[in-house]
Structure 1
Amino acid sequence: MALTLADRAIGAIIGSAVADAAAQPMHWVYDLQKLSQYLAQNPEPEFRPESVNPFYRRETGRQSCYGDQAFVLLESLLECGGLDEEDLKRRTYKFFGPGSEYDTPVNDPYRDKGAPRPQLPIEGPWTQASLKSFIRNVDSGKTETGCVSDTQMDGVAKLAPIVTFYAGKPEMLEKIEDAIRVTQNNDMCVAVTLAAARFLEHFILNGADPDALTAVLKQLNDPNRKNPQELDKAVAGLSRTERFTPNRSVYIITTKLCRNVKNRWNRPFKEPSDWSVVFAGLPGAFQAALHGVLTAVGFEQAVRENMSCGGCSCSRSSFIGACIGAQVGLQGIPASWKSRTSRYGTLLELARSVKVLQRLSW
């Protein structure tokens, strides 16, 4: 039976969260030798019972910091009936700020960078750099609270709720930019995130489409496109690389990139190179995630191959899961994966609430 628009929208929200939770126990594994060992132990690495994350440890089934940001955005959208920047700021500060689960010595936004290195992994969640800057900016009373220097995948990873809410509406890209700049007030971050939003919107509105890349590139090169960004043409160029050749898997294409990570981890980054896609930095991380979407043959395969690349697998999985979820709907996401996602019941209720709020346009 053909999926309805509501089916695809719910699939995007749930797919993003489930994929993020699935990857969380193996998030940020950059040691390729260890990564190979973990994959040899279980070629189906999702929801690994014991975390091997070298930076932080959370119970299997819980979200990464990316998934938690998406959850906060989803709740805000539903509570306010749309984007309310001030409400989003308040909720983000409450969820990640003082007195929250994220409020630990290592996550302290005022922690002295010259202090002794913490013992890793820490118990509990990890606060991203942009959120630390956001907290400091709120504390300082700044109107513009977003981090001006952060160019990581946070915006792309938390897209599912807001794209779902505004898909097909002329104000969608403007609303997304406003939401992203709450924590990441950086032009590169915004341009790449808006390009990612165009892809996700395309799948929500149209379902599976082998010509999705062509359609979005046409949008990015249209002089009359909505909410144009100065970096749109650069982003369009990045989306055309051979990395998206359909007959090559994520693992094959990024193997060379991953092999260089261990040797380059402590070396200064001097110029763009393919291995950068395993990190959370843009634009490389988005290129890798988009490749995972465009070459996917199923939800499980796409997430597993992404995890097999190591690095910032959660941020990439969040976007991959959203795009594939929009194409396969809720029923196309494995039941065993949904049941192992701690927040699944709550997320499903919220996702269905988006459908109710948007019933007039859907």
Structure 2
Amino acid sequence: AQPIHWNYKTADLDDFLKDKEEVAFLDPSRNPFYCIQTGKHSCYGDQSRTILKSLVEFEGVNVGQLKESISVAFGPYSEYENEVNATYKDKSDVVKKVYPIKSSWRHNSIKSFLQKYKDGDQITGIEDNQMDCVVNVVCVVALYAGRPEMLDRVEEVITVTQNSDINLAVAFTAARLLEYFILHGKTPGVEALNAVLKEMVNPQRSHPQDLDRAMVGHMKKVIDEIETDHITAARKFNIT
């Protein structure tokens, strides 16, 4: 739903949308930072598609080729090249004369990756505690679900662009939950969550993280809000 992507003034957005029946493909876009054709992927969708394409072409995770694919998809000869967005801009510093830019938006981890890859750095991921990591696990888990190396492959893909303890803890939690649904079919959400949380406190679990207990605590708070409507619950967790 990129037409309403990154609207942080939620009261204004609520007022604008109150009489709208269709919001996912709103036209014209209300995105305050970038404006592209409604229905096109956001930067996160394009990154996920790039990962999927690499998995198919190379029959699994191939980190070197994935880095090259991301460089091509988001690099200087891609539709993402834009002078205004070539260096990191804090989205709180929106200047009406400049934004929204009339092209796709490079997010922070991709900008940093491109520079590190160009410089020949072996470690191209940065400490970027954003939710890209959850989106980027989806096709990896779909391919490796039920296989012992699943979390190894998730880590390889995530750390190409994001490399922090929080990124990995969140990505592994999301991967475990998605894998549970893939392997067990239609399952009530709370049942799946509880099964994953039980696994995450198992001393014998694979890929233990220092932040696993914190993740378990946060997920239990989510379960406690199961009867709360989505928007209200999201705002309780500072998700806008």
2:198 equivalent to 1:218: yes
2:75 equivalent to 1:75: no
Equivalent position of 1:45 in the other structure: 23
Which one has the bigger helix percentage? 1
Point out where structure 2 has 5 or more consecutive residues left out of the alignment: none
Greater than 2 Å deviation, 4+ residue runs: 115-118, 242-246, 252-255
Amino acid at match of 1:137: K
3-state DSSP of counterpart to 1:239: helix
3-state DSSP of counterpart to 2:220: coil
2:122 equivalent to 1:130: no
Amino acid at match of 2:71: Y
Q: Which whole-Å CA distance do the structure 1 matches of 2:182 and 2:197 have between them?
A: 17
Q: Which whole-Å CA distance do the structure 1 matches of 2:234 and 2:212 have between them?
A: 25
Amino acid at match of 1:53: N
2:217 equivalent to 1:237: yes
Task: Quote the offset at 1:81 in angstroms.
Answer: 0.4
Equivalent position of 1:323 in the other structure: none
Q: Which whole-Å CA distance do the structure 2 matches of 1:70 and 1:251 have between them?
A: 25
3-state DSSP of counterpart to 2:22: coil
Q: Which whole-Å CA distance do the structure 2 matches of 1:116 and 1:239 have between them?
A: 33
3-state DSSP of counterpart to 2:77: coil
Cα deviations by residue, 1:111-169 (Å, 9 ceiling, x for unpaired): 8xxx995711111111111111111111211101111x211011101222111010111
3-state DSSP of counterpart to 2:18: helix
3-state DSSP of counterpart to 1:56: coil
Q: Which whole-Å CA distance do the structure 1 matches of 2:103 and 2:218 have between them?
A: 35
3-state DSSP of counterpart to 2:147: coil
What root-mean-square deviation, in Å, do the aligned CA atoms of Structure 1 and Structure 2 show?
Answer: 1.9
| Aligned partners of 1:151 and 1:189 also within 8 Å | yes
Higher relative contact order (CA 8 A, sep 6+): 1
Change (3 A) 1:116 1:204: closer
Change (3 A) 1:199 1:137: same
| Aligned partners of 1:243 and 1:253 also within 8 Å | no
2:16 equivalent to 1:35: no
How many residue pairs align between the two structures?
Answer: 234
Residue range with higher mean Cα deviation, 78-87 or 24-33:
24-33
2:191 equivalent to 1:179: no
| Aligned partners of 1:109 and 1:135 also within 8 Å | no
Cα deviations by residue, 1:189-241 (Å, 9 ceiling, x for unpaired): 11101101111111111122220111010111111111222211111111111
Residue range with higher mean Cα deviation, 93-102 or 41-50:
41-50
Point out where structure 1 has 5 or more consecutive residues left out of the alignment: 1-22, 258-273, 279-362
2:162 equivalent to 1:193: no
Cα deviations by residue, 1:258-287 (Å, 9 ceiling, x for unpaired): xxxxxxxxxxxxxxxx32x22xxxxxxxxx
Q: Which whole-Å CA distance do the structure 2 matches of 1:205 and 1:178 have between them?
A: 22
Change (3 A) 1:43 1:121: same
Identity of aligned residues (%): 41
Q: Which whole-Å CA distance do the structure 2 matches of 1:109 and 1:178 have between them?
A: 26
| Aligned partners of 2:32 and 2:99 also within 8 Å | yes
Aligned counterparts, 1:8-27, within 5 A: 23-27=1-5
Equivalent position of 1:146 in the other structure: 125
Amino acid at match of 1:204: I
3-state DSSP of counterpart to 1:57: coil
Amino acid at match of 1:38: F
Q: Which whole-Å CA distance do the structure 2 matches of 1:37 and 1:59 have between them?
A: 23
Task: Quote the offset at 1:110 in angstroms.
Answer: 7.5
Amino acid at match of 2:145: A
Change (3 A) 1:116 1:170: closer
Q: Which whole-Å CA distance do the structure 2 matches of 1:197 and 1:136 have between them?
A: 28
3-state DSSP of counterpart to 2:70: helix
Q: Which whole-Å CA distance do the structure 2 matches of 1:128 and 1:244 have between them?
A: 32
| Aligned partners of 1:24 and 1:64 also within 8 Å | yes
